[in-house]
Chains A and B, each alone.
Chain A
């Protein structure tokens, strides 16, 4: 079965430091890849997505992510974290939507980011 793993439950960084959040998936073909951010008690906001093409994608709020097929990964990065980036981050993967599939998204368990001043 397809799966998505975010290995880090909680990450703490200092303001101004760089950030990398990990996401790995298990699937045989090229998936559709998303990163969402959620502030406490709020809905999810799309940060960026990868469907095809350039494997380095740019998103909102200065975030970027790189799709590495050989590692089945789609890690999220930011060169300099701001205190307002503190939130929970979710990686989501849409697997092959051909045939009988409708394009379901499978979510990782989330990574909580704490930013120290």
Chain B
């Protein structure tokens, strides 16, 4: 079955540590996205990638980093510079990501990160 997988489902981090969240898709989608979800705030875009080896900052990129070395993978690193990283992180993908396109985004199951 095609879909988006995120791992781990739960992640605990000590203050000052970097952690990497995994996102993999087998939908053959060009575009991938990372969102952060906090209670009562909806989803906020962290980073997005329209194509392999390219990515752009979203609305809340500070303290985060990404890479897009393969079409199917878009890992997110939460660095120690992120002041309040405890949140639910969602990865999504869409068929196209180039200029002039707004396609349906499909979501993974999410990773809950807790900073101890």
Contacts and interface: CB of A to CB of B under 8 A. Distances in A.
Given A102-B48, A109-B42, A49 B104 contact: yes
Interface in A73-117: 90, 92, 94-95, 97-105, 107-110
A41 B90 CA distance: 11
Contact of A102 (B42, B90, B101, B109): B101
A97 B34 CA distance: 19
B84 interface: no
Interface residues of A, number: 28
B110 interface: yes
Interface string B30-71: 010000000011111100101000001010000000000000
B112 interface: yes
B99 A108 contact: no
Given A43-B110, A103-B97, A104-B45, A110 B102 contact: no
Contacts of B92: 44
A108 B104 CA distance: 16
Select the residue from A32, A43, A98 with max chain B CB neighbours within 10 A.
Answer: A43
Contacts of A95: 102
A108 B56 CA distance: 22
A17 interface: no
A58 B88 CA distance: 30
Contacts of B6: 43
28 contacts: A32-B102, A34-B104, A34-B105, A42-B110, A43-B110, A44-B43, A44-B90, A44-B92, A44-B107, A45-B107, A90-B42, A92-B43, A92-B105, A102-B31, A102-B48, A102-B56, A102-B101, A103-B94, A103-B102, A103-B103, A104-B45, A104-B48, A105-B105, A107-B42, A107-B43, A108-B42, A109-B42, A110-B40
Closest 8 pairs (CB-CB, A-B): A103-B102, A94-B102, A43-B107, A107-B42, A44-B107, A107-B43, A97-B102, A109-B42
Given A34-B104, A102-B48, A104-B58, 18 more contacts: A43-B4, A44-B43, A92-B43, A94-B102, A97-B100, A97-B102, A98-B99, A98-B100, A99-B99, A99-B100, A102-B56, A102-B101, A103-B97, A103-B103, A108-B42, A109-B40, A109-B42, A110-B40
